[in-house]
Amino acid sequence: MFREATLALRGGGQILISTPMKTTLIAALLCIATLALPCARAQQTNALDKAFRDFDPAVRQHVKSLFEAQRVKAEQGDAEAQYNLGNRYSADGVEQNHAEAVKWYRKAAEQGNAKAQTALGSRYVSGRGVEQDHAEAVRWLRKAAEQNHAQAQLCLGVQYVNGHGVEKDPAEAVRWFRKAAEQNYTLAQSFLGLYYAKGVGVEKDLVEAVKWHRKAAEQNSSAGQLYLGDCYAKGEGVAKDITEAYAWYSLPSEAFHFAGKRREALEREMSPEQAAIGKKRADELRAQIAAKLKSDGK
């Protein structure tokens, strides 16, 4: 059974997500996070730039010089500079101009820059800086996805889930989710796990769902950790183990308050000894994940 949820995007626009009933809200949030990614790093960069500009006039002049140098390279046809300039105009800094961001993303995208194609496709989804056009979004996302750009593959899968710009096709969505997931893209791994768990677009396979949730969880994905906790709590695809569930529910960021609520509900059913084991296991998992991320250079 499915439910549709419409949620507002930051900066304008909306996304309609059709997902398995029990996972609607969380999956919807994942979709929003996915479509916000093209400008997330740019926003962070501009926030730092602004802090320095406000603090030191010399830094302010230096940042301006870098911006102008980037513009010169972009105007000379450098695709990477064009993409970066689009990011600059996307961010919440003094230069923010969504139409200008789209202009530079398009220039880079037309040269085959997969990052710019993904950003431009996402702009056509949200309607920021350009009129919303899902068919055009799919066209640009597909170009990037076919270059094996993991984020574009996930976004294209979302379009197939929603039937935006293409016919609804859960199997095709899963195909693109898998391509991104196999590149260790955690959001795609979480989506793929969800679709295996519900048997949507693919034959239901709870063991396979656990496999993908674990891959995401071990890369410190809050969504993966939440869903893996669910698997252990319910005994779906893995032996039921409430202390292991408690441990995984303890790891997601505070923004993922679903996990905290589930951990608290689980703790009410546990003995003090079980809770202590769960907390110890959570500490072990944190250390293991931190060590793995460090070894992977993340």
Considering 13-27, 64-78, 223-237, the range whose residues carry the highest mean pLDDT is: 223-237
What is the mean pLDDT of the segment spanning 85-99? Answer: 83
Cα separation, 6 vs 25, in Å, equals: 10
At 61 the pLDDT is 72
Predicted pLDDT of residue 30? 53
Domains of the chain by residue range: 1-145, 221-298
Q: What is the pTM of this model?
A: 0.81
Place of tokens 């309607």: 127
Taking 50 as the threshold, does the pLDDT of residue 32 lie above it? no
Per the model's pLDDT, the better-predicted residue between 254 and 48 turns out to be: 254
pLDDT of 3: 42
Q: How confident is the model at residue 25, as a pLDDT?
A: 44
**Structure tokens of 101?**
């961001």
Given 1.20.1530.20, 3.30.420.40, 1.10.3720.10, 1.25.40.10, which CATH number is that of 1-145?
1.25.40.10
Interval 12-37 mean pLDDT = 46
**Sign, CA torsion 242/247/251/254:** positive
Q: Is 20 helix (H, G, I), strand (E, B) or coil?
A: strand
Residue 91 — very low, low, confident or very high, per pLDDT cuts 50/70/90? confident
Nearest one of 35, 287, 293, 13 to 161, comparing CA atoms? 35
What single letter denotes the amino acid at residue 105?
A: Y
Residue where the block lists tokens 């197939």: 160
Residue 75 DSSP label: H
Q: How far is CA 60 from CA 51, 93, 97, in A?
A: 9, 13, 19
Mean pLDDT of 31-40: 51
Contacts of 48 (CB under 8 A, 6+ apart): none
Mapped onto helix, strand or coil, the DSSP state of residue 182 is coil
| Residue of 189, 289, 196, 177 whose CA lies nearest to 237 | 196
In tens, the pLDDT along 113-152 reads 999 999 999 999 999 999 999 999 999 999 999 999 999 9
User: Which stretch of 104-118, 175-189, 213-227, 251-265 has the lowest confidence by average pLDDT?
Assistant: 251-265
45-66 tens-digit pLDDT: 555 455 545 556 676 677 778 8
Give which of 160, 167, 89 is closest to 129, Cα–Cα.
89
